[in-house]
Amino acid sequence: MTQLDGEFQTPVRQNPYALLESRAASPLSATPRPFLRWAGSKQRLLRQILPYIPTEYSGNYYEPFLGAGALFFLLEPEKAVLSDTCEPLIETYEAVRNSPSDVIRSLGNMDVLNKQQYYEIRDKSYLESADRAARFIYLNRAAWNGLYRVNNKGKFNVPYGRPRSANLVDADNLSSCSKILASASVSVADFENSVMDAKSGDLVYFDPPYVTGHNNNGFVDYNEKLFSWEDQQRLARLASELKASGVHVVVSNANHPSILSLYPSFRQAIISRRSALASDVAKRKSVTEVVFY
């Protein structure tokens, strides 16, 4: 109770959902927010996804397809289990969590953002984890569309993307991200292994790799290298099993008949966004995706 002019007044408590909604409405300025760009990132879709996320849950938060971690940074869970199969990505998260000042310092030595330096840094190797993380962030921010791709020798080979901003990273935001990551477990793992310990009351968010906008006959073949159809089926079975055991499960996926048929026990919500993968901006049409919950 708060005393005001001789009277006691009950303080107004802020609605946690309203706070999350406010931050989701400002995805490019909220803190903490993703410090990486990532193909398929849900950063600009948070406001559409949030209504289907149980913002109050009793256990851990799991995000097996971490990528840019947009939902993780929005929710700021007290306990989180984060994973991805991309080893350099996870190493970057670990470095930001463990030694953000070293990563920021190393990024300061990569402060020139132009085509020549981009290719020089792309060809370099670094011994220290903070330097490797800084290189990953630099290339991620400067590469075409934030795409992560390697050749058959494991070398990053995405071309220079002519970024519109010379600001590689917001140091304050990176420090905020580090604080949120401090209580999180971060590892390289297959999605099924990463949620082995999930129990009733936990929240699991699955956001597997996929590209939308392909016809019925071409969808599966087009996405096969990103995330195989067998993996899609395995994910759907796992999601159903977790849900049946009392785990809160939310899945983002392509709005496609073959995908919809895999989740008969889930409710569905259609969301939409502008496609960002076409090199010609004029061809970036609106596409729909689905949230299973």
**pLDDT digits over 18-69, tens only?**
999 999 999 999 999 999 999 889 999 999 999 999 988 899 999 999 999 9
> Above 70 in pLDDT, residue 214?
no
> Could you report the per-residue pLDDT of 74-90, keeping only the tens digit for each?
999 999 999 999 999 99
Find the radius of gyration of the CA atoms of the chain: 20
Is residue 112 within 8 A of residue 219, CB to CB? The reply is no
Average pLDDT, the chain: 89
**CA 114, CA 5: separation in Å to the nearest integer?**
61
Neighbours of 282 (CB within 10 A): 6
Residue 7: predicted pLDDT: 47
> Could you report the per-residue pLDDT of 234-282, keeping only the tens digit for each?
999 999 999 999 999 999 999 999 999 999 999 999 999 876 555 455 5
Residue 10: predicted pLDDT: 43
Query: What is the phi-psi region of residue 228: left when phi exceeds 0, alpha when psi lies from -120 to 50, beta otherwise?
Result: beta
> Above 70 in pLDDT, residue 217?
no
| Of 30-34, 121-125, 223-227, 289-293, the least confident | 223-227
Using the structure block, give the residue that is written with the tokens 């689905």.
290
**CA 203, CA 57: separation in Å to the nearest integer?**
7
> Above 90 in pLDDT, residue 226?
no
Residue 163: predicted pLDDT: 82
Helices 100-108 and 171-181 meet at what angle, rounded to 10?
150
> Above 70 in pLDDT, residue 14?
no
**CA 176, CA 31: separation in Å to the nearest integer?**
7
Residue 88: predicted pLDDT: 97
Type and span of the H or E element at 97? helix 87-98
Tell me what the mean pLDDT of segment 118-142 comes to. Answer: 95
> Above 60 in pLDDT, residue 11?
no
Tell me what the mean pLDDT of segment 151-173 comes to. Answer: 88
Residue 168: predicted pLDDT: 80
The partner residues of 272 in beta bridges, in order of sequence, read: 288
What's the DSSP call for residue 15? P
- Which pairing describes strands 248-254 and 286-292: parallel, antiparallel, or unpaired? antiparallel
Tell me what the mean pLDDT of segment 132-157 comes to. Answer: 92
Q: Sorting pLDDT into bands at 50, 70 and 90, what band is 211?
A: confident
* Sign, CA torsion 197/207/76/67: positive
